[in-house]
Structure 1
Amino acid sequence: MKKILYSFILLASLQNLSAQNIIDFFYSIPSSYVDDLSPIERKKLVKNKTLIKYGDRKYSLEIDIKNGYLRLDQSYIDGPSGYGIYEMAYWNLKNKKLIAFSSVLGSNGGFHQQDFKFFDYKNEKLSEVSTGYLKSYTSNFDVFINNLVTEFTKSNTKQSIKENLSESQFTIELPRSGKNIKVSFQENFMSDPNYFDKTYGKYLNYKQKMYKWNTQKEVFE
């Protein structure tokens, strides 16, 4: 009887864990990560897929529940040319879920990675990951992005160059499908197509890298 009861509790726990999807995590993440959108505003977005705030700030939402991916786009109807791209994705681990959050801000002049965080979701609690899962990762974004740029640059590259590179179309792209994370210096179609290579090409080992998810080790390599 005890064995049957234990099996029932275990099954119920697993069902509860699997019931959580990308929308639930979108509701759970602190407002500061999603342009200060309140839980009520996020629920309206999920329902209607668009939202107008402050009269000129437009949000649109893309959700792929099956692949565990969500993208929130922010732009302006009139006035400023600025925009924001906020992505979320998650991975099923042995006894919890790993959630990644990424944000990119830009304007007509260019774009750059604004933030990136890993969260663990376990026992219905969302907690920020300090280190781990990705070699260079730390929850201190400035340190993390510098570590990441360092992987891309030659060993004698000055710190001032690395700081410039971190704000020069350097982005982290979460997977719409699959499990891998792409980090790259993307093309900036609003500027001279040769400018980046002429200015920074000599400092780089490569312009993009795919960090592949190792299911057994539960890390990106």
Structure 2
Amino acid sequence: MNKAKLIITVALILLVGIFAGSLGTRIYLKHQLDRSEIQRFRHHEDKVKRTMEQLTEDLGLDSKQQDEIRKIIVLTDAKVTGIRAFYQPDVSRLYDQSFALIKEKLNDEQKRKLEARHERLSRRSTDSYFRSLRIAQNALPDVAALKDRLGLNKVQEPQVARIIEDRRTQQQQIIGKYENKENPDLAVVRSELAEVQKIITKRLSDVLTEEQMARYRTMQ
């Protein structure tokens, strides 16, 4: 699903909650808060473990296969989490807009209660966002994988290793800078992370051949 379709879909869900009246509003808010509470305790390692247990049982995997397939599962989970995290600033913005629209329909006491709920949801959403960013770090390729997939020569290998490590370090610094701030602007975080990615891609293009860069992009 592309970005426009995703945002439109979420917007429609929010609007249904808004125009369904007070009952719809209560159901919508309760669903979002309960969902955030569940996600707060859901750890990606548990998902990976359950997936591996199921695959091992269904397919009769031996220990070597389990090790190799687990790496694939962890990488896939990290990439999927990264995609979700990329769109979360847009989703959070839509939530804020929906709360503002709902607030217009309420009296002062109801507004006070709604603001308290909005604050709790925003805090949980922000915590979830930064957890997702850290999980997504697992999707960064290691040098061994790049050497194998891209056919790095002896000159390229240490150069690429340094670039990839710089990317990891810089992205972790950005995450660390914002995750403990009160009400950080998630769009700004995303923008800074994207700028790091842009610079890293340029540095890699100076080291790799066009064919190697094409392969690298398929790994992202």
TM-score tier after normalising by the smaller chain length:
under 0.3
* TM-score between the two structures when normalised by the length of structure 1: 0.26
Larger strand proportion, structure 1 or 2? 1
TM-score, structure 2 as length reference:
0.26
Higher relative contact order (CA 8 A, sep 6+): 2
Higher-Rg structure is: 2
